[in-house]
Amino acid sequence: MAILRTSAQTGIGMTSQRTRDRMLVRLREQGIKDEVVLSAISAIPRHIFVDEALSIRAYEDVSLPIGFGQTISQPYIVGRMSEILRNNNPLNKVLEIGTGCGYQTAVLSKLAKEVYSVERIRPLVMKARGHLRELKCVNVKLGHADGNMGLKDLAPFDGIIVTAAASHIPQDLLDQLTIGGRLVIPVGTDEQILYLVERVSELEYRQTKLEAVKFVPLLGGLL
């Protein structure tokens, strides 16, 4: 059966599949090797997640404003964090802290059986919900919540990804990892480092510093 795609999803010119393919070439050159992640990124039209005036820049390797002082992450960091989280293994239940416009969420929907995502800014939740509905991401559940506390009632998760920079690694998130689970999180204020934390046992975690990154800060409270 043929899959019908709207013009908004397929894009034209600078938002076309050809432009997306060039982005994938660049991601491979930047070191993203997981073909499952690359396929997921290829399947998601990034331009629908930004304002129409910015859609011409949607496939550049840059973060772009989405309102409320937030940004959509650059394609490289989406690919990098997704690749680290997946670790060449299928993902079952994943938690995302910081839905934003829903782009990283949509990529995760192609990589995991279940995706739970929380966002503290209600208008962004509503906007992301519309994008994900348009793309028929039926395995995603969004919530308007303070991400610092995770989603204890739905834990444990085999992957947690945080898309804003925390001042420290929240213990609540560590507690919500399954044994063998992975947390990918940027930490720091002026200088931010991407960390991987793996839960080795009930009480033991292995922490790895990965690379310098730049994210908006992880804040508490609801808007």
For the stretch 15-45, pLDDT in tens is: 677 888 999 999 999 999 999 999 999 999 9
What pLDDT is stored for residue 57 in this prediction?
Answer: 94
Least confident of 52-56, 112-116, 141-145, 183-187: 52-56
Q: At what angle do helices 75-86 and 17-29 cross, to 10 degrees?
A: 60
Least confident of 13-17, 113-117, 140-144: 13-17
Triad 64, 69, 75: Cα angle to 5°? 25
Q: Which residues pair with 196 in a beta bridge?
A: 184, 208
User: pTM score, two decimals?
Assistant: 0.93
Checking if the pLDDT of 5 tops 90, the result is: no
Question: CB neighbours of 31 closer than 8 A, spacing ≥ 6?
Answer: 80
Q: Could you list the active site residues?
A: 73
Q: Report d(CA 209, CA 195) in Å as an integer.
A: 5
What's the farthest any 2 CA atoms get from each other in the chain?
A: 52
Domains of the chain in sequence order: 7-213 (3.40.50.150)
